[in-house]
Structure 1
């Protein structure tokens, strides 16, 4: 991993998806609601010291959604300022496998939505860009 400035917060997450349970051949995107920020986003979180970004992304998905996942294509890395510090979030596409959601202090709700509905529900424009990148990656696979 490249060395960043000491004040950069490193985080990772996934755009989590599953095949629609309705048998229509579509997919659904998992969004998490964080009551602290009252926002809808993709599961993500800060990396632990020395943690590999992909391992951190998979860990965050499990912690926030209760789901195991199979990571796929690397998605664009997000760079922004949070709490007056630069933040870098590495993302992957990931297909949900087993598990189930249990509300917790960090995430109180999850929604599984068709891509167009998920796109409109996402709070941050950068998260919409990630959803578009996921759809591109799935269509080229």
Structure 2
């Protein structure tokens, strides 16, 4: 079954302009055992599991957008760290570019919202298996390398 793709912003006005977005690979130390855990969000609109991310607002810096999206989608505050590889792909025929950062969760709690109905904190291996888009594994691998778990 094909999942719907996120719509492009202003596609009718700018059919080939790049959609800019940003997000984080949010991580923490497990409260049980201290192992590394990665946060994935479930978006019911697309029925997918991914990292928290979203489109930049007009004039917004990519890092500021990434931190904002983490808080909006997961309820967590975060401390951004290493820059991770940017993801490039097409959505409805338009190029999309998503800038990513590693970000440690520093507090907060999840509450379901309009965009995200569930979050899961998973081991890196379980997160890699759960990710809907295989391309997201690039950012997970880069996080593990940045944290010395590669």
State TM-score, norm by structure 2. 0.87
State TM-score, norm by structure 1. 0.92
Q: 1:26 aligns with which of 20, 35, 43?
A: 35
> Distance in 2 between the 1:72 and 1:139 partners?
13
> Distance in 2 between the 1:133 and 1:125 partners?
14
Once superposed, what is the RMSD of the aligned Cα atoms? 1.4
**Residue 65 of structure 2: aligned partner:** 56
Residue 12 in structure 1 maps to residue 22 in structure 2: yes
Please identify runs of 4+ aligned residues in structure 1 that moved more than 6 A.
Answer: none
DSSP-derived class of the 1:71 partner: strand
Residue 124 in structure 1 maps to residue 133 in structure 2: yes
1:83 Cα deviation (Å)? 2.0
Aligned length: 135
> Distance in 1 between the 2:136 and 2:88 partners?
12
Residue correspondence of structure 1 range 43-82 to structure 2 within 5 A: 43-82=52-91
Q: Where does the alignment leave 5 or more consecutive residues of structure 2 unmatched?
A: 1-14
> Distance in 2 between the 1:119 and 1:65 partners?
19
Q: Where does the alignment leave 5 or more consecutive residues of structure 1 unmatched?
A: none
DSSP-derived class of the 2:110 partner: coil
Residue 42 in structure 1 maps to residue 74 in structure 2: no
